[in-house]
Structure 1
Amino acid sequence: RVIASAALETPAYAFASDDPDLTSAVFGVIELDKKKFKDSKSITVVNKSSKTQTYNVKYIPATEIPGATYSLSDRSVTLKAGKSTKIKVTLEIDAKKYAKTMDPTMDRTQLGLPRAWVSDVSGRVELTSSTAPTLRVPVHAAPKLVSDMKVDDSIEFKKGATTAKVELEGDDIRAGKGDTQVVSLVSAFELGASSPRQGKSLDSTPGGREMDLQYVGAASTAPTTGVANGLLNFGISTWGNWAHLAGGTEVDIEIDTNGDGVADFLVYNTTADGVDLDFVATYDMRTFKQVD
């Protein structure tokens, strides 16, 4: 229920100092390694009335992640007429305690399929007064664990050998338990093409950096499983993180099976109604029918 009159009657208002147009204090998507994370945002409170106003300040959680906490610089604020003040909101995260939790209001499956979701730690900073309407500023962050792995620049094959081990070094991921567990994975692809990072002007285009190709490769299981049961996988790396794997940021892969320079199949990333998952569809370019 929205009480619209309260917005007009309030003697004070509050907003995120860094982005007053959006109101909310947003930390964004945070990539975590094994180190602890700490960052702060501020909330501005303005007293537009002709009287002194006092508010009690507290944070009320909505969704939580193990190891992630918000703290406030003030438990109460007093503003003289026409004055303003700032409240610092600090987010601290211990990556070692992280688990990929889900908003309790969300279903774990959709149409019988396991749901994909982004964990977030969110709530609101609430300012209460005995004489004025309550002020609320949403706070949101979406932390996620990221691995940091590397291999040697070269691989040594022993004389007469057709295989060699690839040694991985760095920080992998294994956190949480059950369906909240996060485990890092690695795949190998034969490099097909690479592209340098485009200029800074691309950053002004929404979705531009996440569609700036870096590496493209392919891999097949056919040599070990046989052609009939083999899988052909494509790997794509871009210079920016994808906000969404489909929709406006679609990647098309054209497959020429007979070498005539004309695509016989088209593979692209897409979505399906009613499911928070990203899919890959394959179409026969001769019949324009979906085959996978």
Structure 2
Amino acid sequence: MLRIMLFLATNAAVLVLVAIVFQIFGIEGILQENNVDLNLQALLILSAVIGFGGSFISLALSKFMAKRGMGVQVIEQPRNETERWLVDTVRRQAEAAGIGMPEVGIFNSGQPNAFATGWNRNAALVAVSTGLLRNMNADEVEAVLGHEVSHVANGDMVTMGLLQGVVNTFVIFLSRVIGHVVDRVVFKTERGYGPAYFITSIVAQIFLSILASMIVMWFSRRREFRADSGGASLAGRSRMIGALRALQRGSEPEDLPGEFAAFGISGSMGRGFRRLFLSHPPLEERIQALQAED
């Protein structure tokens, strides 16, 4: 709850700052001189409602979507030794991390992967793929589970949702402002909205969304290092390094579908400009970061 309140307070402060900047630089005056009847305060509030609304709904439905979309089979009663070991390991790690016991599940995928999701750290889901169970030994799987439990303990799902809400807010706000300015100042539309408003708003939203994705993915890569460190604390550094090396030995990893990509143990690789849009840093960099820890 504190994390949510801090992010809401931060977003409110930024909204106020934008309004102040518009006044200091005379942007509101320019709009008024050109008869741009745009209520910036109302637009800021509307943008925040839309931007955060989508993120909160996505976060609230994340476990349901994981179970339906990814076909996760939650282990209600362990049917074999592997399932019993998975549940016991997650329970032990959750207690060590100080969080509520997550649901534990398995999804069918030939790629070694795992993810965590949920709307708060005491109501999460940790799921592993069948490919991960087939291709990794018990020590490596334990480290992967520790990595995902660390995501939960760090509140990464909520943080990513809130961060996405912030950037969504400003993508919506700025694209509408740009559309208004072009429509009124450049094309001199006096009443209603002309085609320039809609075309410019769409183009601006696409461009700003690309920039916003770069910011969100940068943060996603940063928190992967922290989750690796948490996994090393829960399962042992050598096991965490071993799990990452096991991922290196396999075929090139692929992103999980949709919003779950950022919460997998690994993601697709890339170089150059493409790297700016990756949710995970290269495995070698993650291994080097763990090796450099005291």
TM-score in terms of structure 2 length: 0.21
Higher relative contact order (CA 8 A, sep 6+): 2
In terms of fraction of residues, the more helix-rich structure is: 2
TM-score in terms of structure 1 length: 0.22
